[in-house]
Chain A
Amino acid sequence: DVKVTQSSRYLVKRTGEKVFLECVQDMDHENMFWYRQDPGLGLRLIYFSYDVKMKEKGDIPEGYSVSREKKERFSLILESASTNQTSMYLCASSTNTEAFFGQGTRLTVV
């Protein structure tokens, strides 16, 4: 079974903190994604990566950065967390025909 693992299920951080969300996949997929999910807005793409050290901005990259130093790991970084970044964050990895998702990280910024 393909497994995509996100490091935390729930996180509470303070405004201004630097936050790292980690994602690891075990299927040697080249493509990895970070989405943000908010009620009524669906899933919005923050960043994606199609290879090690390669990254592309999605629809809402402002306030975020990413890192992909190894093929299996894709990290989302909130440089200075703000309350409007309180959300559910979903990581995914994919082949050309299917995407596999992690369980999600519920981030609350207070």
Chain B
Amino acid sequence: AQTVTQSQPEMSVQEAETVTLSCTYDTSESDYYLFWYKQPPSRQMILVIRQEAYKQQNATENRFSVNFQKAAKSFSLKISDSQLGDAAMYFCAYPDVFSGAGSYQLTFGKGTKLSVIP
């Protein structure tokens, strides 16, 4: 199984400021997706942003963007203009391909708890 490492168990950011969450992963594949998921206190996990490894351009979704460094196997999430609603657990995830059926299993990091200070 591949590994996904989030080295920051907790982080905090002032409202309206920018914060970057780190993620590194290990893979021998050349083409894959990477994901950031958000889990607010209500517990429903939702997809924040997705990056395709073969695309050189970093993915962006409104205030959320990634810094994808393929050679370094690094995939950080930047949140700009932080809002109170951004407070949540954030998980980095890598789809570990299950070759038996062309499907995959998602491997998650341990998560980063983000607090937003008013």
Q: A residues touching B (Cβ–Cβ < 8 Å)?
A: 30-31, 33, 35, 40-43, 45, 48, 50-51, 54, 56, 58-59, 88, 90, 92, 94, 96-99, 101-104
Contact between B108 and A97, CB atoms less than 8 A apart = no
- A92 and B93 CA atoms in complex are apart in Å by 13
- State whether B43 touches A104 (Cβ < 8 A): yes
CA distance A97 to B110 in the complex (A): 21
Binary contact track B31-46/A, C-beta < 8 Å → 1, others 0: 0010101000011111
For B104, what are the chain A residues with a Cβ–Cβ distance below 8 Å?
31, 94, 96
B62 at the interface (CB under 8 A from A): no
Q: Which 5 residue pairs spanning A and B have beta carbons closest together?
A: A42-B110, A101-B45, A50-B103, A43-B108, A50-B101
